[in-house]
Amino acid sequence: MKAKHQRLVLALLAIVALVAAVLLAMWGLADRAAYFRTPTDIAGGKVKQGEVIRLGGMVVKGSLKEQGGTSVTFDVTDGMDTTAVRYDGILPNLFREGSGMVAEGRMSQDRFVADTIFAKHDERYMPPQMGNQTAEHAAAKTLVK
Amino acid sequence: MIAEAGLAALWLAAALALLQLVLAFTGASPAVRSLAVTQGLMTLIAFAALIAVFVRTDTSVALVVANSHSAKPLMYKFAGTWGNHEGSMLLWVTVLALAGAALALLQRRIGERMLTASLGAQAALGLGFYAFLLIASNPFARLDPAPAEGKGLNPLLQDPGLAFHPPTLYIGYVGLSVAFSLAVGALLTRDVGPALARAMRPWVLGSWIFLTLGITAGSYWAYYELGWGGWWFWDPVENASLMPWLAATALLHSINVLAARGGLRTWTMMLAVVAFSMSMVGTFLVRSGVLTSVHSFAVDPTRGTFLLGLLALYVGGALALFAWRASHVAEGGRFALISREGGLVLNNLLLSVILGTVFIGTLYPLFAEAATNEKLSVGPPYFNAVAGPVALLLALLLMIGPLLRWRHHAAPLARWVAPSALIIAAALMISLIAAPEMSILSRLGLAVGVGLVPASLMPLAGRSLRRTPLATWGMAIAHLGVAVALIGMASDSAFKSETLAIAKPGDRLNVGPWLVEFASVDPVAGPNWTAVEAELRATRGSGVSVLHPQSRTFTDPVTETNESAIATLWNGQLYTVLGRAREDGWQLRLWWKPFVTLIWFGGALIALGGLLSLGGRLWRGRRRAESEA
């Protein structure tokens, strides 16, 4: 094999690697990306039971209740609809009623069961106005993991 | 006054960079060298000025007001200088200018023409980022009237990690700019060859060592500070540091082919461009605020657009130059498929595949939102499934590659590979019997890691150890580090045990082999926080470990954090977190993480291997230069 041919082979290999990476990524993304949803999306039937999603919104004041063991329940709102959430674990430090939060988990019946809560964001978060940007957008933008 | 001096120094540095770029075109090399050095000094003055206003808590400077407080401990006033957007960008630019100055002062192995062109490229990089600082992120902006007190630093950042982690990472990130500039210089002067590779190698190695240390330290920081017991979250910001590391690792291997055999010329130039491009992509991701994480200090669309513009300009420009000049680069020496070169090509292809999948996964949410207006997140399930198996393949290759000879390997390999293969098979068998419920990825990771321990040292076998070059030692130790880290990762994910409970003082909890007694809870106070502190007495067999996890409340700004308490033993860590108080007791979270420390120990070994290799190369280079003189 001449040097020139060898270079051609190497260039082809590089392209093969690139294509392989893209195909691998597409395969992985097909069922492993979690969508950000709001209580409005859930009320509107956009979320399937058991599908892993991230739910964003504000924690409704007075809704946080201690349940048996280490679990808690609370409600999350985007100003239009409200979703009940259940979580078993230590709540993050900045998790507060009246503050924004993002949780990853899935719908079970009409309740959202959270696996992880990322409720660390700053106090500048404001509830959305009608027709304004949606709550989860603002929550996502100010989210500090 | 100090702030104005800092700003003036920054403007001066920008002007010097412009002059440096212009003079580099005309080829006035001694002037370009001294300009690069002066520019580095100017940024250093600007950075020192910013440190000074932070240490003095000068509340007439807007950045200090937004991010500092007079009651903060001195160390965090100092380190807080770069715990914010503007300050960290100034650190970035300072490292960039100092890298240029170091290039001008230290580089003796390449021709004057190529060096001048490279310093011109470095100046061009600097100019864009000076403009970004001066126009969109001025760290020295004044506030009039000056408030009496600052707002304080994010308490999560109030940790010794802040003093160490960002500077280390930035030296690594931005140090890669030298490889970028050398590649641009070599393409411009049509002089891509082994001499360039030998000149570029120490810079790549040095940056790569700092990147490795920065990522390892950052991982440990997140592990103990966030209180989640995890050491890698596939957070976009972590990926932003991993991508340049992957590219630099590939570059580090391909550059050896170019230096030793004159092969892989265009590919190595491409990687040098890609590596620093990944640093810039990372800076864009972190600094523009398009992605959300603990590192995003500000959300400002003009900054994002500005950085995106710079990214497009530099990456686009370098790639255009590459496309234009690639056909002029001479072909390298030929090699057989089974050869050291072949192994390194495969290493580069696998690293590129990992880099590609991490890149796509990290940026996919941005594209998806732009295209469909759907917001989504890509997390560990994707990255583990996609990058994990490829990384394991790479680790398998690592057992064979270093044993191969350059050009053509004819000798049988079985004698060398058989022991590791047997160890892997045995580890798989034992793990199947002893721990049948392990996930496939952890099981394979553990087995490959264990097999890689002897395999990584195999290149030293049968050699006179005293005569073995330092670079070979470095390679073996870095590869051993990969094995050690792999074992740690697999062990943590497979064998960790976790207990989450509501407990009162006097309660006893079990986690893994430990019996943990919740002894007491007491209030404690620090310089700018108060806390409740639990005392936990953990026993396992005979020894007792006492742990004091805290739940802290910071003033200025008022924030709560959990300070985890960790007991480190030879075979793992007991990790404890005190959560919030409830009516019926306290939330306690306990983990037993067998051999988790190997992850960071492995990272440190990888960096040590790099250091040995760098030392060996520099020493040999100097001896060669002396013997030629």
3-state SS string for B120-178: HHHHHHHHHHHHHHHHHCCCCCECCCCCCCCCCCCHHHCCHHHHHHHHHHHHHHHHHHH
Query: Which comes out higher in pLDDT, residue A66 or B450?
Result: B450
Band of the pLDDT at B300, cuts 50, 70, 90?
low
Does residue B293 carry a pLDDT above 70?
Answer: no
Span B145-162, mean pLDDT?
A: 76
Per-residue pLDDT, B348: 93
Contacts of B286 in chain A (CB under 8 A): none
Here the tokens at position A124 are 């500048």
Taking only residues 523 to 582 of chain B, the set having a beta carbon closer than 8 angstroms to any beta carbon of chain A reads 559-562, 577, 579-580, 582
In the predicted model, is pLDDT for residue B551 greater than 70? yes
B69 confidence band (pLDDT: 50, 70, 90): confident
A119: pLDDT strictly greater than 70:
no
- Rounded to the nearest angstrom, the minimum Cα separation between A109 and chain B is 22
- Return the pLDDT at B156: 67
Nearest CB to B331: which of A3, A24, A28?
A3
Contact B377 A144 (CB under 8 A): no
Quote the CA–CA distance of B565 and B578 in Å, as a whole number: 9
Rounded distance between C-alpha atoms, residue B399 and residue B417, angstroms: 7
A36 contacts in chain B (CB < 8 Å): 374-377
Dist. CA B248–CA B245, nearest whole Å? 5
User: Mean pLDDT of all residues in chain B?
Assistant: 87
CA distance B477 to chain A (A): 28
Range with the poorest average pLDDT among B176-180, B259-263, B273-277: B259-263
**pLDDT greater at residue B239 or residue B437:** B239
Comparing A13-27, A44-58, B485-499, the range with the smallest average pLDDT is: A44-58
Per-residue pLDDT at B297:
40
Nearest-angstrom CA–CA distance, B572 and B577: 17
User: How far apart are alpha carbons B198 and B341 in whole angstroms?
Assistant: 17
| pLDDT for res B292 | 53
Give percent of chain B above pLDDT 70.
Answer: 97
Backbone φ and ψ of B210, nearest 5°? -65, -40
Statement: residue A75 has pLDDT above 70 = yes
Q: Which of A2, A5, A7, A9 to mutate to test the interface with B (most CBs of B within 10 A)?
A: A7
Q: Tell me, what's the pLDDT at A50?
A: 83
CA distances from A91 to A87, A96, B166, B228, B520 (A): 8, 9, 28, 11, 22
pLDDT at position B152 = 74
| CA distances to B68, B80, B529, B530, B554 from B526, in Å | 17, 18, 5, 6, 9
pLDDT digits (tens, 9 = 90+) for B504-521: 888 899 998 899 999 888
Three-class DSSP category at A74: strand
pLDDT of residue B380: 85
Pair of tokens at residue B274 = 């890609």
**What would the mean pLDDT of B89-118 be, rounded to a whole number?**
91
* pLDDT tens digits for range B336-387: 788 888 889 999 999 999 999 999 999 888 888 778 877 788 888 899 999 9
- Sequence-ordered list of residues with C-beta below 8 angstroms from that of B317, at least 6 positions apart, any chain: none
Provide the pLDDT for residue B629.
54
pLDDT at B208 over 80: yes
pLDDT of residue B153: 73
Most confidently predicted of A84-88, B558-562, B620-624: A84-88
Closest approach of A14 to chain B, Cα-based (Å): 7
> Among all chains, which residue has been given the structure tokens 């924004």?
A100
Lowest mean pLDDT among A122-126, B223-227, B263-267, B307-311: A122-126
- Given a contact cutoff of 8 angstroms between Cβ atoms, the answer to whether B530 and B524 are in contact is yes
- pLDDT of B450 strictly over 80: yes
What confidence tier does B288 reach under pLDDT thresholds 50, 70, 90?
A: confident
Q: What DSSP string describes A14-48?
A: HHHHHHHHHHHHHHHHHHHEEEEE-HHHHHTT-S-
pLDDT at residue A1 greater than cutoff 70: no
The residue among B50, B57, B236, B210 whose CA lies nearest residue B140 is B50
A4 shares contact with chain B (CB less than 8 Å): yes
Say if residues B514 and B540 touch (Cβ distance below 8 Å).
yes
pLDDT band at A130 (very low <50, low <70, confident <90, very high): very low
Long-range contacts of the stretch B109-112 (C-beta < 8 A, 24+)? B109/B195, B109/B198, B109/B199, B109/B621, B109/B625, B110/B182, B110/B191, B110/B195, B110/B196, B110/B199, B111/B189, B111/B191, B112/B29
- Give B44-53 pLDDT, tens digit per residue: 999 999 999 9
Q: Do A66 and B583 touch (CB under 8 A)?
A: yes
Measure A40 CA to nearest chain B CA, in Å.
14
β-partners of residue B586 are B503, B581
Confidence at residue B491, expressed as pLDDT on a 0 to 100 scale: 93
Residue B254 with chain A: CB contacts under 8 Å: none
Burial degree of B507 (CB within 10 A; 0-12, 13-18, 19+): middle
Residues 22-81 of B with CB under 8 A from A: none
SS3 at position B200: helix
Nearest by Cα to A134 from A44, A37, A19, A68? A37
Is the pLDDT score of B186 beyond 50? Answer: yes
Q: Could you write out the DSSP letters of every residue in B431-446?
A: HHHH-TT--HHHHHHH
pLDDT score for A137: 40
Chain A contact probe: residue of B359, B360, B507 with most A CBs at under 10 A: B360
Query: Tokens representing B91?
Result: 């650190």
Of B356, B374, B382, the CB nearest to A29: B382
The chain B residue lying nearest A6, using CA atoms, is: B334
**pLDDT tens digits for B15-27?**
999 999 999 888 7
Contact A6 B335 (CB under 8 A): yes
Query: CA angle, corner B508, sides to B503 and B513, nearest 5?
Result: 125
Does any CB of chain A come closer than 8 Å to the CB of residue B336?
no
Q: How many CB atoms lie within 10 A of CB B566?
A: 19
| Res. B597: pLDDT tops 90 | yes
Mean pLDDT of B467-486: 93
Asked if the model's pLDDT at residue A140 lies above 50, the reply is: no
What does the DSSP assignment read for B81-99?
Answer: GGSSHHHHHHHHHHHHHHH
The DSSP symbol for B528 reads S
Per-residue 3-state assignment (H helix, E strand, C coil) for B293-310: CCCCCCCCHHHHHHHHHH
Would the pLDDT of B389 be above 80?
yes
Task: Say which of B293, B357, B375 has its CB closest to residue A35.
Answer: B375
Give pLDDT, residue A53. 85
Residue B357 pLDDT: 95
Residues 6+ apart with CB under 8 A from B558: none
Say if residue A125's pLDDT is above 80.
Answer: no
Q: How far apart are CA B65 and CA B101, in angstroms?
A: 33
In sign, the C-alpha dihedral spanning B164, B166, B169, B173 is: negative
How much is the average pLDDT of A52-57? 85
CB interface of B with A, residues 441-500, below 8 Å: 500
Scanning B280-309 for CB atoms below 8 A from A yields 289, 292-294, 296, 299
Taking the CB of residue B470, how many other CB atoms lie within 10 A of it? 17
Q: Does A30 touch chain B (CB under 8 A)?
A: no
Do residue A93 and residue B560 have CB atoms under 8 angstroms apart? yes
What DSSP letter does each residue of B451-492 carry, written as one string? Answer: HHHHHHHGGGTTS-TTTS-HHHHHHHHHHHHHHHHHHHHHHH
Which residues of chain A does B562 touch, with a Cβ-Cβ cutoff of 8 Å? Answer: 90, 93
Q: Please check whether residue A12 touches B, CB under 8 A.
A: no
Among A23, A24, A26, A55, which would you mutate to test the B interface (most chain B Cβ atoms within 10 Å of its Cβ)? A24
Q: Under DSSP, is residue B249 helix (H, G, I), strand (E, B) or coil?
A: helix
pLDDT band at A110 (very low <50, low <70, confident <90, very high): confident
Give the ipTM of the model, two decimals please: 0.82
Binary contact (B561, A22; C-beta < 8 A): no
The pLDDT value recorded for residue B301 is: 67
Measured between CB atoms, does A133 come within 8 Å of chain B?
Answer: no
Residues in chain B: 629
CB proximity list for A45: less than 8 A, separation 6 or greater:
none
CA distances from B246 to B155, B199, B349 (A): 31, 21, 11
Among A3, A22, A33, whose Cβ lies nearest the Cβ of B356? Answer: A22
pLDDT per residue over A17-54, tens digit each? 999 999 999 999 888 888 888 888 888 888 888 888 88
Least confident of B166-175, B182-191, B381-390, B405-414: B405-414
Starting at the earlier edge strand, list the strands of the sheet with B585-594: B497-503, B585-594, B572-582, B565-569
DSSP secondary-structure letter at B73?
-
In this complex, the residue of A94, A137, A145 whose CB is nearest that of residue B559 is A94
Q: Does A66 touch chain B (CB under 8 A)?
A: yes
A35: contact with B, CB 8 A cutoff: yes
Cβ within 8 Å, pair A144-B292: yes
DSSP B328: G
Amino acid B464: pLDDT: 79
Q: CB–CB of A29/B368 below 8 Å? A: no
Nearest by CB to A21, from B292, B353, B375: name it: B353
Q: What is the torsion angle, in degrees rounded to the nearest 10, for the CA atoms of residue B474, residue B477, residue B482 and residue B487?
A: -170
Q: Residues near B106 by Cβ (< 8 Å), separated by ≥ 6?
A: none
The pLDDT value given to residue A133: 38
What is the distance between the alpha carbons of residues A120 and A92, in angstroms, rounded to a whole number?
Answer: 7
Contacts of A143 in chain B (CB under 8 A): 292-293
Minimum-distance CB partner of A91 among B235, B299, B580: B580
Inter-residue contact A93 to B580 (CB < 8 Å)? no
- What gap in Å lies between CA B344 and CA B475, rounded to an integer? 13
